[in-house]
Amino acid sequence: MSDVTRPGYLRLGVNIDHVATIRNARGNDHPDPVRAAKLAAEAGADGITAHLREDRRHIRDDDIARLMDEIGLPLNLEMAATPEMLAIALKHRPHACCIVPERREEVTTEGGLDAAGLHNHLKPIVDRLSDVGIRVSLFINADKRQLEAARSLGAPVVELHTGAYCDAVLEKQSAKRDGELARLVSAARDGAALGLEVHAGHGLTFDTVGPVAAIPELAELNIGHFLVGEAIFTGLAESIRIMREAMDVARATADDLRSRDVR
């Protein structure tokens, strides 16, 4: 069972998009992402994340309706800032909406939202979602200008894009890895100082999650592709359990080191 009320606890949001990717490869109902969400809840997920893309390449409209009806965890709906997605979010009223940039030709969400450049486009969307009590998050790169833009838009949450850091780890580029990690560390600090709740995600694996989980200002990680891929080998519950443990160990170790520093 999760320990979500403990101060300093790092929540794990499990993204189930790629269960739907596999289902859609054959056009029938198996494997069911809602069943995966229920299993993730039992395995220790604190929330479920799903991205309803404009092209419906994985999650479909009826998945969102069923996730809202059938899972006992908060749903974080990832969405592009479009009138269609705004109407869907207002209809279902998930716990949170994470606004992401979206391009049809991309394989995955490639970069952060330009919250600064798109202020006038985003402001009414953030306001409409907030007005009905949906917690709005903006998926941004680790950049102070974007954090300040999120604040001036009135979004209470930002999610930092960890893709560049994870790519650097995969490519074994240690200087780039350290630089990207340092950017995440200072963005998390700046975000918290601005009064924002700071999340992070994209591309995280057992190998990359530790240094990110150790960042004390982070409140939540959203992880999908790796957990679903790893589930092929170990089962979804086990992949989530190992990820949860890696997060907890990294955070406890970092807390311990910091408390020794203070003395």
Annotation says 78 is catalytic:
yes
- Choose between 44 and 224: whose C-beta lies nearer to ligand PXP: 224
User: Of these, 57, 93, 225, 241, which contacts ligand PXP (CB under 6 A)?
Assistant: 225
List alpha helices for 93-203, DSSP H.
Answer: 119-131, 144-153, 163-170, 174-193
Judged on CB neighbours under 10 Å (0-12, 13-18, 19+), 181 is buried
Contact segment (CB under 6 A) with ligand PXP among 21-29, 171-179, 183-191, 200-208 equals 200-208
Rounded distance, CA 135 to CA 93, Å? 10
The letter for the amino acid at 116 is A
User: Of these, 191, 196, 201, 236, which contacts ligand PXP (CB under 6 A)?
Assistant: 201
Verify binding: residue 78, ligand PXP, rule CB under 6 A: yes
Characterize 151-179 residue by residue with b for buried, 16 or more Cβ atoms within 10 angstroms of its Cβ, and e for exposed. Answer: bebebbbbbbbbbbbbbbbeeeeeeebee
User: Of these, 203, 215, 218, 250, which contacts ligand PXP (CB under 6 A)?
Assistant: 203
Footprint of ligand PXP on residues 160-199 (CB under 6 A)? none
Annotation says 18 is catalytic:
no
Conformation bin of residue 48: beta by default, left when phi > 0, alpha when psi is -120 to 50: beta
Binding mask 109-138 for ligand PXP (x = CB under 6 A): x-----------------------------
Q: Which of 18, 58, 199, 202 is catalytic?
A: 202
Footprint of ligand PXP on residues 3-32 (CB under 6 A)? 15, 17
Annotation says 51 is catalytic:
yes
Verify binding: residue 223, ligand PXP, rule CB under 6 A: yes
Rounded distance, CA 54 to CA 57, Å? 8
Q: Compute the least distance from the CB of residue 242 to ligand PXP, in Å.
A: 15
Q: Compute the least distance from the CB of residue 11 to ligand PXP, in Å.
A: 13
Judged on CB neighbours under 10 Å (0-12, 13-18, 19+), 46 is buried
In sequence order, the β-bridge partners of residue 47 are 13
Which residues are known to be catalytic? 51, 78, 202
In the complex, the residues that contact ligand PXP under the rule CB under 6 A are 15, 17, 51, 78, 98, 100, 108-109, 139, 159, 201-204, 222-226
